[in-house]
């Protein structure tokens, strides 16, 4: 299922663009390339009412994938 990077907690907002903290590329939220297959897609998460940072989203996702034994591309 295609995922939308604009809805992913791992995408960092920079000057109106999105940067994927996992794969290190820049996107604009309007371009079709924001829709892709991505096993790292992570819905926004909060702690104590504050949105976690993209780096924290990525860390939690990597821990979750390790726990599930995911052996994806590095
Ligand atoms: S982790 Fe995947 S879904 Fe999230 S911003 Fe990066 S490419 Fe997009």
Predicted confidence (pLDDT) per residue in 14-72, tens digit: 888 889 999 988 877 666 555 667 889 999 999 999 999 999 999 999 999 999 887 66
Distance 30 CA to ligand 1 centre (A): 15
Neighbours of 50 (CB within 10 A): 7
Q: Which of these, 39, 38, 37, 19, lies nearest to 28 by C-alpha position? A: 19
- Whether pTM > 0.85 for this model: the answer is no
Residue nearest to atom 6 of ligand 1 (CA): 20
What is the chain's alpha carbon radius of gyration, rounded to the nearest angstrom? Answer: 12
Distance 49 CA to ligand 1 centre (A): 23
Q: Which residue ranges make up each domain of the chain? A: 3-67
Biggest CA–CA distance in the chain, Å, is 36
CA dist list (Å): 43 to 9, 18, 63: 6, 15, 15
Predicted confidence (pLDDT) per residue in 24-39, tens digit: 888 776 665 556 678 8
């Amino acid at each position: 299922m295609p995922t939308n990077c604009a809805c992913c907690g791992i995408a960092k907002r920079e000057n109106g663009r999105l940067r994927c903290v996992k794969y290190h590329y820049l996107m604009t939220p309007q371009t079709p390339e924001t829709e892709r297959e991505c096993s790292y897609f992570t819905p926004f998460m909060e702690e104590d009412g504050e949105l976690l940072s993209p780096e924290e989203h990525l860390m939690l996702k990597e821990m979750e994938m390790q726990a599930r034994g995911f052996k994806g591309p590095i």
